[in-house]
Amino acid sequence: MAETRNEPLAAWIDRHGMSIEELVDAVNDAIHDFTGRQGTTSERTGYRWLAGKSRWPQERQRIALERVTGLAATDLGFVPRGNPKTTPLPPAALPEDPSVHRRRFVGAATGAAAAVAAPLIASPNSRPQHVGTSDVIRLRDSVETLVQLDAARGGHTALERAALAGADEALSLQHHSATQRVRQRLYAVASDFVSTAAWSMIDAGQLDAAGKHLDRALTLAGMSQDPDMSMQVWNLRAMLARQRDDYGEAIAAAQAMQTTTIARRSPLHASLAHARTAISLAYVRDRRSAALRSLGRAEDALGKADLADPRPTWITFYGPAELYSLTAIVRDVVGDPAEAEAASHRALGALPHSYRRNRGHTTARLALAQLHQGDVEQACATSADVFEIMAGDPLPGRMRHLLGDFHRDLITLAPPRVAHEWTDRYRTEWSTPA
């Protein structure tokens, strides 16, 4: 049989930002966990897996791979020898279904503070003396879970607490034996957790707390020497400054994004940096033409990006739908509401169904664009959709602020009766904090 690259394994490695050497380390650590003896899998074996030269790992390696990744060996691109019906693994060797951990973590993130920390913080006696790549992967999976929760509901304090608990866990593992590479990755995942907490507070409208988290996240990103984490912090800095109406700082933070190593290397990251710059410039009256030029650079860069490439969890939100949404903001702010409306419609058409908060926010932007064109009746109907989209959860603070902008413009542009009716109808949903 001809040898072919193991693409499922390669994709998993890329998605988690790992090297073959780190995967092999994690496999050997996992073997130690269930046999009591450190594994001896070599880097050469790992490269043979990736190249498709070794089609079915030895049993201990296979069990370890499944524990490390949370996936069946066949889902990792491996092919059983002979009869595809292989002997089932003994129950003690089976990895926990990742969906079980995810459900437990999501449940905790929506509960009380003590419950939030429970799935992440192990008891002192159960903490490993040696920390490896598998620990980093476990923590990254928890970051991904929080990002999914944020996309559905938006920022809130329980999510913030869960993220900070994750950061504490990552930093506590620094007290155990680990390679320098693993230590850097633990700092990176801690920065990711704290940035997630900061974003949750930005979205919830609690800006002072967000600022404190970002100060800490930037320090952790520097300790990790991870340019991706640095860019994440600058991205949030730009967003926080804009929420505070500090457009000079927003521009500076967005331009700092452009100078990061990852933005110079990745068209996707460069596109986000230019888009964030465009929004910041749009609010400065004498720089609005520069905002449109930055928007054009964002579009050009995104056109060069391979959207199928694996990417870090924090930037999974960015793509055509998000760029359309940001375009709608820029166009409306610079006084082109018709283009803003068109961009909002394109964004809503491209948004994944799971991005519920983003859909609600973009719908509110669409209502503003319609209102700014004088289409009051349609704008009020569109704004009503926001409450339907977010039904069952309080509106995040950032969305409530945007609807406050809609309300103020409605008072200015519509007959008083219409504004009063809108307020009376949606007062409860609009004013209830998350």
pTM, rounded to two decimals: 0.77
pLDDT tens figures, 142-160? 998 999 898 888 888 899 9
- What is the pLDDT averaged over residues 254-267? 94
pLDDT tens figures, 421-430? 998 888 777 7
Sign, CA torsion 263/265/271/272: negative
pLDDT tens figures, 67-105? 888 888 898 889 887 654 444 444 334 444 444 344 444
- What is the pLDDT averaged over residues 282-308? 93
Which range among 34-38, 63-67, 96-100, 190-194 has the greatest average pLDDT? 190-194
DSSP state of 177: B
Q: For the chain, first and last CA: distance in Å?
A: 58
DSSP state of 375: -
Lowest-confidence region among 92-106, 251-265, 383-397, 417-431: 92-106
pLDDT at 113 over 50: no
DSSP state of 376: H
- The residues, ordered by sequence, that sit 6+ positions from 285 with a Cβ below 8 Å of its Cβ are none
| Type of residue at 232 | Q
Q: Which two tokens stand for residue 375?
A: 């289409």
Cβ neighbour number for residue 274 with a 10 Å cutoff: 26
- Supply the pLDDT for residue 93: 41
